[in-house]
Structures are given as structure tokens and as C-alpha cells.
Amino acid sequence: MTDCGDLVATDPKYGRRDFLKDSVLSVAKAAQEFSKHKDAAPEVPAPVFRKDWLRPPGAVAEALFLERCTKCNDCVTACPHGSIVFHQQDGTPVIFADQVPCYLCEDLPCIAACATDALVPVEGPEQVRMGVAAVSHRLCTAGQGCHACVSKCPTDALQMDFDAQRLAVSVERCVGCGMCEQICRTVNDHVAIKVTPARSAVPSAY
């Protein structure tokens, strides 16, 4: 591509004044383009919201829960462990099991605090159904001697199958509290057990 300097040398009609004029215009154009891009608003990626949250104990079916829940904060305040938090997307109460699981309080104060029947009474903590744990046998180290989740399970829903050298989950006993998921995250490099929320399909090993 021929630049201004080449034109000065090869075209006798193209004088120094023309060269300076074109140089100034070129610099001005570059400055204008720079300013345009500098002032342009940066692209902000859309927020990514987690979908693996659990509803608090006693939650009714999801569609009915959304009708009844007023996002009043009462269940969040009543939880002594800080397990229940507000979902960033819609402000409804949720539990992220890998962060703070449900500790299945004997009196379930979160249910007692709900005045709209979005959370309804259950006979006891063992009757709670927030979800069901699913095990990734590819990641699980139970066969290598790690039984941390088994020892922490409050409903004895986790058993070691010594014949198969793998962890088994009793769907009937599992309440989906998430203690297994939280403890696995604490003691292992990779989380090998996760709770599938009750509103989702029946879990399988992942």
C-alpha cells in the first residue's frame, strides 16, 4: 500500500502541504475511532444462576410453593444455621447444599415460621423430602477408604456396599439434606455426591 511519504517522492504534484494535511486527517480519524471504542459500554455477560438449589424442609410442590411464598424472610431468619438463603434470581428461599446443608433441626423452626403454608409441617425430620443424593462412582473414593459422608448422614441413607466396593444410597431414607455433599466437598478434591432437588427428575448416578 502506498503511503503519504511515497507520494511525496513519486508524485511531483503531491507537495509537503498535502502530506501534512493528510497526516493530520489520518491522526484525527484514528483518535475518533479510539474515542468511539473507549466510550462504548463494555459488554456485560448475563449472570449465571445455579439450578441445583433445594427448597427448605416441608416445601409444597413447586408451582404451589411459588403461589404461596411471599418472600417474607421468616424462614430465613428462623434457620439457626444460616442454611436458608434468598435465591439471587427471584428472592425465594433456597438451600445450596454444598455451601450450608440443612441440619434437620428437631423442631424444624423454618416450617413453624412460615405463615402461608408454603412450608407445611411434617411428622419429623426423617419425613422431609428436599431431594435425593446421587453418587458419581467415577469420582467417589469410598472404595479407597473414604466414608466421611456415611458417618455424617443423619438418616443412615448411605451405606457402603463392600462387595461392590462402592457407595449406595437408600432412596427411602434419603431426605436430601445435603450434608453428604457438603462433607464430600470438604474432604475431597472432587465432589462425588450431589443432591438432586425434589422438583427434578428421579436421580441416577452421574
Number of domains in the chain: 2
List of residues 6+ apart from 163 with CB closer than 8 A: none
Q: What is the pLDDT of residue 163?
A: 87
List of residues 6+ apart from 176 with CB closer than 8 A: 54, 97, 128, 129, 130, 131, 132, 133, 195, 196, 197, 198
Q: Are residues 30 and 72 in the same domain?
A: no
Q: Are residues 31 and 84 in the same domain?
A: no
- For residue 134, the cross-strand partners are 194
Does the residue 204 lie in any domain?
Answer: no
Q: Which domain holds residue 28?
A: 4-39
For the record, the C-alpha cell of 190 comes out as 472432587
- Using DSSP bridges, classify how beta strands 131-135 and 193-197 pair: parallel, antiparallel or unpaired: antiparallel
For the record, the C-alpha cell of 199 comes out as 422438583
Does the residue 100 lie in any domain?
Answer: yes
Q: Are residues 34 and 70 in the same domain?
A: no
Q: Are residues 35 and 72 in the same domain?
A: no
Does the residue 180 lie in any domain?
Answer: yes
Q: Are residues 125 and 169 in the same domain?
A: yes
Does this model's pTM top 0.85?
no
Dist CA 136 CA 138 (whole Å): 5
pLDDT tens readout for residues 187-204: 988 999 999 999 885 555
pLDDT tens readout for residues 8-49: 455 555 566 665 655 656 666 766 766 665 555 566 676 677
Does the residue 54 lie in any domain?
Answer: no
Does the residue 134 lie in any domain?
Answer: yes
Angle at CA of residue 96, ends 93 and 98, nearest 5°: 165
Does the residue 206 lie in any domain?
Answer: no
- The percent of residues above 90 in pLDDT, for the chain, comes to 62
**Confidence band for 115, pLDDT divided at 50, 70 and 90:** very high
Does the residue 71 lie in any domain?
Answer: yes
Structural contact between residues 19 and 3, judged by C-beta atoms closer than 8 angstroms: no
Out of 10-14, 72-76, 84-88, 184-188, least confident range: 10-14
Q: Are residues 89 and 175 in the same domain?
A: yes
